[in-house]
Chains A and B, each alone.
Chain A
Amino acid sequence: MCATCGCDSNGQVSIHEVNGHDHSHEHDHAHDHHHHDHDHNRKVIDVEQDVLYQNNLLAQRNRGYFEAKNILALNLVSSPGSGKTTLLEKTLQDVKTDLSCYVIEGDQQTNNDADRIHATGTPVVQINTGKGCHLDAHMILHALQHMKPKENAVMFIENVGNLVCPAMFDLGESARVVIASVTEGDDKPLKYPDMFHSSHVCIINKIDLLPYVPFNVETFIENAKKVNPSLEFIEVSAYKGDGLNNWYNWLKQKVQQAAAV
C-alpha cells in the first residue's frame, strides 16, 4: 500500500463518480533503487522529518481549498455499523433545501454507500481504498478534482468504518465528527481514545434502542470527556428521527461561523 495516497498493493485506489463516468485512478509508486556514481563514505543525515509530513501538507492544501470556497468540510468517523450512512442519508434529505451538500464516500470496496447517497440527489464521489483502512489527504485531493464542488457548501466525508486508523490522518476537514451507537459499549472512548481525542463533536446514534441495551449515556459521555474534555455531544436516532434537529442546528451554526470568517 502506498503511504501517501493509500493505494493498495496493486498500486491502485479507485475513485468513482456515481452518476457519470468512472475514473480509475492509478498511481505508479515504484520505489526506485537509484544507482549513481558516488563515493562510499558513511554519512549521517539529520532528517528530523515528521512521518506524516506529506499527508499533513496535502491536508493543509485541502483546508485552504475548502476555506477559499467557504466549504464546511466534515470528516465523519466511526466503527463499521454505527449508522454513518443512514445519518447522512437522513441529513441530506432534511437539509438539502437549506444547504448545498456534497459527499465523499470512503469504503474498502463497493459503491453501495455512494448509491444510497446518490438516491438523495446529492453529488457524490466514492473512493475505494482497496486494502487501505483509512482515507488520507491525497485521496481527498483527487476526489475534489473529480467533484469540483461549488462555493458555500457542506462537504461530508464519510471515512472508512474504523475507529483506529483514520484518527492519525488529517484530511483538511473543518471539523471531525465521531459517531458512536448505543449498541456499542459505553467504554468505547477509553478503548479507542485517539479517535475521541481528535474529534470535535460526538454523535450518539440509535438512542431509540436504549431501553434494550446495557448502554449508559452518562457513563459514555464521562468516559469521552476524560479523553477530550471539550468534545460536544448530540444524541440522535438517525432511523427514527429523534434529536436530529439538534444535529441540524449544529450544522447550520457551523456553516454560519464559516461564512463569518
Chain B
Amino acid sequence: MHELSIVMSIIDIAAEQAKKANADVVEEIELDIGELSGIEQNAFDFAWQQAVKDSVLSHAQLIINKIPGEGLCLECNRRFPMHQLYDACPDCGQYFISIQQGKELKVKSLVVT
C-alpha cells in the first residue's frame, strides 16, 4: 500500500505550493499518472479519500491524466503501446525495450484561491 505514501507526498507538495502562493484553499489538483508507474488505481483512490481529510486538499477536485505506456524496441526501433513491463515487441518479439512514456508520477498543476 505504497499508494498512501504517494498521496502523502502529493499533499506535502500541494501544501508547500499553496503556502508559497499565499493561498489556503486548493480548488483543483491535476496529476499525471503513467500506466507503468506502479500505482494501483483502486488503492490510490482509497488512500486519497482517507489521507486528504484535514489537509489542504480536503476539498480539492482531483484530475488524473492517465498517461498510456509506450515502449521503443531496442532491436528493431518499433514504437508500440506498452501495458505491462513484460510486454514484448509486437514485431520482433524481443524484450529489450526502452520505456518512452508511462512511468510518470507527478503533480502537474494546482488551482488555488
Q: Which residues of A contact B (CB under 8 A)?
A: 1-4, 6, 31-38, 40-55, 132-134, 136, 164-165, 167-169, 189-190, 193-194, 197, 223, 225-227, 229
Task: Pick the contact of A33: B4, B56, B107, B111 (CB < 8 A).
Answer: B56
B residues within 8 A CB of A2?
8
In the assembled complex, the Cα of A49 lies from the Cα of B95 at a distance in Å of 30
Interface size class of B (residues with CB under 8 A): 35 or more
Judging by beta carbons under 8 Å apart, are B86 and A134 in contact?
no
Docked CA distance A2–B8 (Å): 6
Do B21 and A43 touch (CB < 8 A)?
A: yes
**Taking A31-B12, A193-B84 as contacts, is the C-beta distance between A3 and B6 under 8 angstroms?**
yes
Interface residue B85 (Cβ < 8 Å from any Cβ of A): yes
Q: With A and B bound together, what is the CA distance between A126 and B2 in angstroms?
A: 21
Q: Are A6 and B5 in contact (CB under 8 A)?
A: yes
Would A31 and B85 count as touching, CB distance under 8 A? no
Q: Would you give the shortest CB distance from B50 to chain A, in whole angstroms?
A: 10
Does B96 sit at the interface, judged by CB under 8 A? yes
CB<8 Å pairs between A and B, sample of 27 = A1-B4, A3-B9, A3-B12, A31-B11, A31-B12, A31-B55, A37-B22, A43-B23, A43-B111, A44-B110, A46-B108, A47-B106, A47-B108, A49-B13, A51-B6, A51-B107, A52-B105, A55-B9, A132-B5, A133-B1, A164-B2, A167-B38, A169-B5, A190-B86, A193-B85, A194-B85, A223-B86
